[in-house]
Amino acid sequence: MTNSVCSDNAYQARAAHSWDEDSQYAPTPGYYGRTPTVFSPSPAPVCATDPVQSDQLNFLPLAEWDEDVDYDEQFPDYIRYTIAWKLMFNKKKVGSVTDKGLVVAPRDYWTKSLKPAVEEMLQMKKKNGQRVRSEGTAVIVKTDDRSQGNLELFCAATIDWKSVEKQLRKWSNLVRTGKTLTIDIVFHYRGDDEVPQKGEKRGRVSATSRMLAERQRHIDIEEEMTERPATWDLVYSLMRCNVRSCPHKSDWCWEDPADKKHYKLRVPHLERLIDYVDGGGCLDTHDDVPNDIRRDLVLESQKGRKSKKTDVVSNGQSYPPTIINVLPAQTGSTPTFSCSPKGRSADEHVIIPGPREAAVREYCRWLESRATDEAYKAGFRKICQVTLENHLDLELILEDPDSGFFVQRGIQIGTARRFLRDIDEWATMMSVTGLDRTSVDSLGCAE
């Protein structure tokens, strides 16, 4: 006779019927016709056509959660867990709360309930007007199943809820066996002392404290939005210059790994580094600074040295003049966007050496490197394409500048005017620094 799961069920059904008719025979322990449980001494096999229970439970969607409902603990449909948290203020425990029977994802519970509760307790414990700052959060995910180890995290900024939820899902089957899942959280905060030390000036201390508090507020906002350490804080910390002998006496410098030379970093440079990191770039050391920023720092440094040498030259000495053509500024309160820079006469003709198409590409990359917004960068790439498609070059554009030509081809008016205006500056910088395009390519501008 062929044995099968379904035939076994049929046999048990007949045995149950015979027991109903004649009670002198004891049936096999268990409940016929029902899904076996872990408590049945001899569970009946499950028919292959019965629905198979999922390996892991999941969290209840936040939109379906009702805080007043006591979700079934004996036959759970969702992951049930407990959050036990406490607040440490200036290294002293000031309060603790235990939230049981939670079924929504910890990240959702943090946003909806836990975070407001922590902030409310913190406001109650700190002094009026006292500034506080986070010193990190310790998280332990554990279960009372002794065969399982704990997951321990320390989060300097925001809590790594992704790892917490992953661990709870991994242990979700333990909930079916009556085990308990718990998240222990300790929030560490420190309050700033408002009283100035003896001998310190109150006004200066207060101003510094306000600046630090404002800086910390921006860091907290960015970390809350991105769920990772603030990018600008990372960049400013890495680029801070702590060398007393630095010739620039600057707070921030880039140190060339090759010759250890310092290049002063201004706010636009730092903002470009921040955009680079936000775009997925790696910035762990000074050697990770992108080539386009290195190039601009070298060019600006060489241009600055040339200017200083020019200032100290006496009037009796004769040097070949460097002609710099400056476009006249627009007058009037209302800007006229249809106007273009005045064309050049034959005597003012500027010669840009090298392949003309390469000059257009290098100039547009230079414009792009001076922008931080991706829309601006895309605009310069587009105007470069339009220029090359129409077989124009920088010399022809200088002879007959026309922003309307580019606007009619879908270029933003600001991008077109900037493209026309800065050709002089770029060409002058190339000639003043004495760099040809071969040396510029070595700084990262090569195709």
pLDDT score of 342? 54
Instruction: Classify residue 2: in a domain, yes or no.
Output: yes
Over residues 416-428, the mean pLDDT reads 87
pLDDT score of 211? 58
| Residue 339 to residue 402: CA distance in whole angstroms | 8
Instruction: Classify residue 213: in a domain, yes or no.
Output: no
71 and 103 fall within a common domain: yes
359 and 438 fall within a common domain: yes
Structural domain that includes position 264 = 230-289
Summarised one tens digit per residue, pLDDT across range 148-207 is 889 988 887 688 899 999 999 999 888 888 889 999 999 999 887 654 444 545 444 455
Instruction: Classify residue 108: in a domain, yes or no.
Output: yes
283 and 251 fall within a common domain: yes
Residue 15: is its pLDDT beyond 50?
A: no
Instruction: Classify residue 309: in a domain, yes or no.
Output: no
pLDDT score of 192? 75
Instruction: Classify residue 71: in a domain, yes or no.
Output: yes
Q: How confident is the model at residue 26 (pLDDT cuts 50, 70, 90)?
A: very low
387 touches 398 (CB < 8 A): no
Over residues 378-393, the mean pLDDT reads 93
pLDDT score of 228? 57
pTM of the model: 0.35
90 and 1 fall within a common domain: no
187 and 72 fall within a common domain: yes
**1-10, 63-72, 152-161, 215-224, range with the lowest pLDDT:** 1-10
pLDDT score of 38? 46
pLDDT score of 57? 86
Summarised one tens digit per residue, pLDDT across range 355-365 is 889 999 999 99
82 touches 99 (CB < 8 A): yes
pLDDT score of 206? 54
Residue 208: is its pLDDT beyond 60?
A: no
Instruction: Classify residue 353: in a domain, yes or no.
Output: yes
- Average pLDDT of the chain to the nearest whole number: 74
Structure tokens at 369: 């490197």
Instruction: Classify residue 394: in a domain, yes or no.
Output: yes
pLDDT score of 446? 39
**186-190, 317-321, 368-372, 390-394, range with the lowest pLDDT:** 317-321
385 and 438 fall within a common domain: yes
Over residues 283-299, the mean pLDDT reads 90
**Running DSSP on this structure, what letter comes out for residue 60?**
B
**6-20, 222-236, 276-290, 316-330, range with the lowest pLDDT:** 6-20
101 and 39 fall within a common domain: no
Residue 37: is its pLDDT beyond 50?
A: no
Q: Most confidently modeled of 37-46, 87-96, 226-235, 423-432?
A: 87-96
22 and 77 fall within a common domain: no
Count of domains forming the chain: 4
Residue 105: is its pLDDT beyond 90?
A: yes
User: For residue 77, what are the CA distances in angstroms to 143, 179, 398?
Assistant: 18, 14, 73
For 95, the 3-state DSSP assignment is strand
pLDDT score of 1? 42
Structure tokens at 19: 């027991």
Q: How confident is the model at residue 101 (pLDDT cuts 50, 70, 90)?
A: confident
pLDDT score of 337? 41
Over residues 120-128, the mean pLDDT reads 85
Q: How confident is the model at residue 49 (pLDDT cuts 50, 70, 90)?
A: very low
pLDDT score of 109? 92
* Higher local confidence (pLDDT), 126 or 320: 126
236 and 178 fall within a common domain: no
